[in-house]
Structure 1
């Protein structure tokens, strides 16, 4: 099975933000994060935003086109009849239902990048940084990006980006197919918001949502 995934790459990151103003977000925060992020990413990553997608001659090199209008892999027998492939990123919002964040409170979320999307990590970081300056959620509350960490196979996090220095560290952890099929403890297969730092399930999170 793994042999069919030669060349597969996946990287996990965690972005931590601090509220500068009061943030008002929905119970399920992914919609607010993804909607705001997509809007900003188009501004910074689209090479010809004034043109229609069919008119742009730069699509093959366009970060926005690859991330949000992902073309099927060349020669794919599974996706050869669809116009776009699944988008190569996953946002992992907090699973709690906290809606309001006061100035100074922390909001963190996970980001998974798959394959070539890993090469666009600087665009993702810049977009979420810019989203904080623009504002998010009801009232467009502003936040500041505090840190970005990379997660390895064992679940250890290493800081790779320092916003105050605009410094992004190379050599972050990238998982291959063999890593994904190796045995992992149950708490590593579940969201960290459900399992606490001790590995014991939390009782304050409704995992049915």
Structure 2
């Protein structure tokens, strides 16, 4: 069994795509994921939580699936530190203004047992259309729901009338292994589609290196596997594998780097201020010995479904792996 299958055993991701038609002009911010995340949270909290508006008791938070999805907390973590959310946002990439003559497509991805909440999320997107989105709260009508696999570049319709079917295209360890075999072994291209915001030594990373990228990616995979799989978690196994993979990453060269820094901000009503969420976008190509590249490919494929870096729940850190 490949090592990633062993360590990620039991983890799966379901990518959902929503096609909507605006009934009013929708003006999204520079990073549309922030508006989508806010509207989804509002729709879920107001319509499917019995104790909305920050009035939840600790007992309620343990029982309510909506609160679990929106604000997962680790009771063993210091001072209520948030664990990684089992949700990511895939914002529209083409434009930020949509009129009733346009169609808009965006995605939400559910990680691990969060996939059981697919019916809640589907209904919430319908409610989002009534609430409105972006500047001026432009409303929309939900046209279709589909599942999508970036590994297969395949899509399957899930919504038929008012019925939403369960998906059959989840990202799983086995499917990651199958897809990894299709990649060349001497190079790999990463296309950063939304801002990738990483830190190293408490500084923002503005020039990407294979070691920093892989270190943060493996930390995210480890954290998600720890919280969202039922498999026995062995920290020492992870540490050994991480050391091996970072050694492989140190032998990788950057063939070309066409990434650049893109500033963007997220507004917080609670904090009454704008928070910077900018990061790197563009393409980078790595090359190296076939053994080193082949070791990294499965983990890079995990990352394109899990996102990487800060603010994944707002759509940041979305990338694609290209041959």
Normalization by structure 2: what TM-score? 0.52
- The 1:179–1:30 alpha-carbon spacing in structure 2 relative to 1, beyond 3 Å, is same
Q: Could you say what secondary structure the match of 1:57 adopts?
A: helix
- Match of 2:131? 134
Contact kept, 8 Å, 2:39 with 2:131, in 1: the verdict is: no
| Offset at residue 180 of structure 1 (A) | 2.4
Residue of structure 1 in register with 2:207 after alignment = none
- Equivalent in the alignment of 2:25: 22
Could you tell me which of 69, 84, 87 is aligned with 1:86? 84
- The answer for the alignment partner of 2:153 in structure 1 is 155
- The 8 Å contact of residues 17 and 147 in structure 2, kept in 1 or not, is answered as yes
Q: CA deviation at 1:189?
A: 7.1
The Cα of 1:140 is off from its aligned counterpart by 1.3
Q: Per chain length, whose mean CA-contact separation is higher, i.e. which structure has more relative contact order (CA < 8 Å, sep 6+)?
A: 1
In the alignment, structure 1 residue 47 sits paired with structure 2 residue 50: yes
* 8 Å CA contact 2:18, 2:106 repeated in 1: yes
Measure, in 2, the Cα distance between the counterparts of 1:37 and 1:134: 10
User: In structure 2, how many angstroms separate the alpha carbons of the residues matched to 1:191 and 1:12?
Assistant: 18
Extract unaligned runs of 5+ from structure 2.
195-261, 263-280, 283-315, 317-323
Specify which structure has the higher proportion of helix.
2
CA contact (8 A) 2:45 2:53 kept: no
Q: Does 1:110 pair with 2:113?
A: no
Aligned match for 2:176, one of 167, 173, 180: 180
Q: What CA distance in whole angstroms lies between the structure 2 residues aligned with 1:36 and 1:23?
A: 13
C-alpha contact 2:15 2:148 (8 A) present in aligned 1:
yes
Give, in angstroms, the shift of residue 132 of structure 1. 0.6
Structure 2 distance, partners of 1:5, 1:191, is 23
- The DSSP-based 3-state class of the residue aligned with 1:31 is helix
Match of 1:63 in 2: 65
In terms of Rg, which structure is larger?
Answer: 2
Aligned-residue CA RMSD (Å): 2.9
1:28/1:95 contact within 8 Å kept: no
Distance in 2, matches of 1:191 and 1:166, equals 35
Q: Deviations over 1:4-38 (max 9, x none)?
A: 22211111121111111111112221111111111
For residues 3 and 35 of structure 1, do their structure 2 counterparts lie closer, same or farther at Cα, with a shift above 3 Å needed?
A: same
Q: Secondary structure of 1:172's partner?
A: coil
Which is strand-richer, 1 or 2? 2
Report the equivalent of 1:5: 8
Per the normalisation by structure 1, the TM-score is 0.77
Deviations along 1:136-159, whole A, 9 cap, x unmatched?
111111101111111244121010
The answer to whether the Cα contact below 8 Å between 1:155 and 1:188 also exists between their aligned partners in 2 is no
